[in-house]
Amino acid sequence: MASLVIAEHDNKNLKDATAKTVAAAAQVSSPVHVLVAGSGCDAVAQAASKLAGVEKVLVADDALYARMLAEPMAALILSLADKYDAILAPATTSGKNYLPRVAAKLDVPQVSEILKVISPDTFERPIYAGNAIATVQAPAGKKVITVRTTAFKPQDGTGAAAIEKVNAAADPGLSKFVSEELSQSERPELTSAKIVISGGRGMQSAENFHLLDKIADKLHAAVGASRAAVDAGFAPNDYQVGQTGKVVAPELYIAVGISGAIQHLAGMKDSKIIAAINKDEEAPIFQIADFGLVADLFKAIPEMEQELTRLGY
């Protein structure tokens, strides 16, 4: 049969998470179809049609899907589910929201946040905050899977899939969108940035947190935070990197004033290079850092900035 990937997008841009989920789907069941559910989402459908390995893009363009609320999304996916033996979504807050609803209605156990496809029914997934990796085999029948996108390389844009309209499913009428407060930033997204600089409790205040901005601007990095920094109100919730926040795996992760709690490490330990600045030389973050600097961050950050300027950044 085929697999169906639910696209992650904001009605204008297709998110990188989709290309990575398609890469996972291609290993589970081919051909791969992508469902773009949104409102005024033509550009997204066009972008999805160019992903390598995608045979067909289904577009449900209706005001009902503008915010991808869980109940209408699940109803739409269920209306298409018969034709697929695997349904996959990225493990974003959106995918995690609607996909278990689909699995329950299909009476299928969902496999959450897969890291690797061993065979079409066997997967690796992290448990206990990534302190253990479970290899699980799904039962015969439909597979419902969320994908940890940092674990897969995105499909390239060399494809040319057909685009087909599909009808909206009936509105379950259970929930409604009220408002949204999105972080405005010119910087790359945390989960797809090549460089991430994160601050922890050591930043001491929301004002001080902006010290990281200058380094981020020079390196075109995204800014993240530890749970301690978010709980203390130094940074907004969508900055949180960790087991229960965002999982990142950039080329370079710079941890500033972060001690390295288990739950934070779970969200960044797959980064290619890790650098850590902390005044406590016993901080657990140094046990996994490739480059450690024991120093007062309020001295070290301005010095880093100067050195970057000197090097022409």
Positions 1 through 20 that interact with another protein (CB under 8 A): 10
Q: Which segment (18-26, 44-52, 137-145, 157-165) binds another protein by CB under 8 A?
A: 137-145
Q: Is 171 in the site for another protein (CB under 8 A)?
A: no
Near another protein by CB under 8 A: residue from 1, 128, 157, 162: 128
CB of residue 142 to another protein, shortest distance in Å: 12
Give the x/- contact pattern for another protein in 172-211, rule: CB under 8 A: xxxxxxxxxxxx-------x---x----------------
Q: At what angle do helices 70-80 and 93-106 cross, to 10 degrees?
A: 50
Nearer to another protein, 82 or 311 (CB): 311
What are the DSSP calls for 103-122, one per residue? HHHHT--EEEEESEEEETTE
* Alpha-carbon radius of gyration of the chain: 21
Q: Is 300 in the site for another protein (CB under 8 A)?
A: yes
Q: Binding to another protein (CB under 8 A): which residues in 212-231?
A: 219, 227, 230-231
In DSSP terms, 58 is beta-bridged to: 35, 164
Nearer to another protein, 35 or 75 (CB): 75
CB of residue 124 to another protein, shortest distance in Å: 9
In DSSP terms, 122 is beta-bridged to: 119, 137
3-state secondary structure of 310: helix
Q: Is 304 in the site for another protein (CB under 8 A)?
A: yes
Q: Is 301 in the site for another protein (CB under 8 A)?
A: yes
How many of the chain's residues bind another protein (CB under 8 A)?
A: 95
Cβ contacts of 32 within 8 Å, gap of 6 or more:
2, 3, 4, 5, 22, 25, 26, 53, 54, 55
CB of residue 66 to another protein, shortest distance in Å: 12
Give the x/- contact pattern for another protein in 151-170, rule: CB under 8 A: --------------------
Q: Is 50 in the site for another protein (CB under 8 A)?
A: no
Q: Binding to another protein (CB under 8 A): which residues in 234-273?
A: 236-238, 243-244, 246, 251-252, 262-263, 269, 272-273
Q: How far apart are the first and last CA of the chain?
A: 51
CB 171 within 8 A of CB 61: no
CB 218 within 8 A of CB 211: no
CB 204 within 8 A of CB 224: no
| Distance, CA of 268 to CA of 296 (rounded, Å) | 22
Q: Is 79 in the site for another protein (CB under 8 A)?
A: no
